[in-house]
Amino acid sequence: MRISPEGLAEGVRYIASPNYDERPAGAEINLLVLHSISLPPGEYGGDGIERLFTNRLDPQAHPYFREIISLQVSAHFLLRRDGELLQFVPVHRRAWHAGASSWRGRERCNDFSIGVELEGSDETPFEDRQYRRLAALVRDLRAALPLRDIAAHSDIAPGRKSDPGARFDWARLLSALSAS
């Protein structure tokens, strides 16, 4: 997979999110932030995440949706449990995934990061297909961008966020990346 000049991953379904803006001038995209999400919480395979990232969440569809209906969030990519990869924001744009955050002394991680959501939760192991596809995505993004670091949402927003959680196998991802 290549990243096009428009910032889109070729061969990946693109669902445009309105929840993005321009990065600061000269911002170097050197951090990838891993998240996990399931909507409704603990449920997989529905369209809740897509609806959240496109501001089309139906508050009547689930009681939890009424709590988050006002959120305007996105990520660059969503990696479903079956390995399907979706893109919501071009990589050269600033997706709204990190919130109040800091990495290595730099505030506002959205300015210089790519956000990847893994369909999952802190309590559930991730799928083999997700690890394989994630490693491939990271390799492709590294070929197109000066990515140097990969961090958990919990690393850039400690005390506020816990994802992707203790069930995410960092050693597995790093091993797959070092083997390529």
Active site residues per annotation: 117
Distance of CA 131 to the CA centre of its chain: 14
The residue to which tokens 């959240």 are assigned: 52
Query: Could you give the CA distance from residue 63 to residue 43 in angstroms, rounded to a whole number?
Result: 13
Report angle CA 97, 166, 168 to the nearest 5 degrees: 70
